Amino acid sequence: MKLLEKDGFAILRDVFSEDELSPLREEADRIAISAGSACVRDIRAKSSLFDSLALTLKTKDFLTPEMIPVRSILFDKTDSENWPVPWHQDLTIAVRNHIEADGYGPWSVKERIPHVQPPESLLTKMVTVRIHLDPTPAENGALKVIPGSHLSGRLKPDQIRLHTESLAVTCSCNPGDVLLMSPLILHASSRAENPRRRRVLHFEFAPADALPHGLEWHEARN
């Protein structure tokens, strides 16, 4: 967690070997083809391999012991699915049921899964882990971040516009690299200039008991 306190992100190099990545790529392709989408949610429910991976990540020293995986997504950019993402923060969480609670809202539904914006205090306790399966240099749509922007809390659209592109850092990653980030850090990605496969496994972690009574994490299975 200390890795994220100052900058809001950190890149860990060569966390996964090529032998470990090969089955992950095969499973990512299977799930993407089955879903017919370049963005697949709740991949732990669709794959025992990814479910096991998320639980293995839980034991890594870059996460604290009380944290559990609470959301999982596959991003699969290709030359035909080459979308830009504007500057934003990750402000929603996936929960099991729509239950009103103080400080939680507005609500939305994504792929039949209830999502809600929680209080800022909860978002500060979360960590996103992104595993890169393919080369992701700047020209292939690597994620860009504004270091330290997570310290400003939840930002309104006009506040986001005050942050300039000149402050951005491009998180160029190789296969097997892991990007850790706070959900509150401003991040974006450009359309790839030289588009190739860019498969990323995205896992979000949070303390198991962080939600108020009645609300449950959508993926809180273990």
Considering the domain boundaries, does residue 121 fall inside one?
A: no
Considering the domain boundaries, does residue 112 fall inside one?
A: no
Considering the domain boundaries, does residue 116 fall inside one?
A: no
3-state secondary structure of 29: helix
Least confident of 32-36, 50-54, 56-60, 93-97: 56-60
Segment 99-119 shows an average pLDDT of 94
Considering the domain boundaries, does residue 118 fall inside one?
A: no
Is a pLDDT exceeding 60 seen at residue 222? no
Segment 59-87 shows an average pLDDT of 83
Considering the domain boundaries, does residue 108 fall inside one?
A: no
Indicate the pTM of the whole model: 0.93
Q: Can you tell me the distance from the alpha carbon of 121 to that of 153, in angstroms, rounded to the nearest whole number?
A: 9
Least confident of 24-28, 114-118, 164-168: 164-168
Q: Can you tell me the distance from the alpha carbon of 21 to that of 176, in angstroms, rounded to the nearest whole number?
A: 7
Considering the domain boundaries, does residue 187 fall inside one?
A: yes
Residue 136, domain extent: 2-90+127-207
- The share of the chain scoring above pLDDT 70, in percent, equals 94
Q: What is the pLDDT of residues 13-23, one digit of tens each?
A: 999 999 999 99
Considering the domain boundaries, does residue 122 fall inside one?
A: no
Q: What is the predicted pLDDT for the residue at 196?
A: 74
Q: What is the predicted pLDDT for the residue at 153?
A: 93
Considering the domain boundaries, does residue 137 fall inside one?
A: yes
**β 39-41/187-189 pair status:** unpaired
Domains held by the chain: number: 1
Average pLDDT, the chain: 90
Q: What is the predicted pLDDT for the residue at 5?
A: 87
CATH of the domain at 133: 2.60.120.620
User: 57 vs 11, 79, 171, 202, 209, CA distance in Å?
Assistant: 15, 30, 20, 12, 18
User: 130 vs 107, 114, 213, CA distance in Å?
Assistant: 25, 22, 29
Predicted confidence band of residue 221 (pLDDT cuts 50, 70, 90): confident
Q: What is the pLDDT of residues 151-171, one digit of tens each?
A: 999 998 888 888 777 789 999
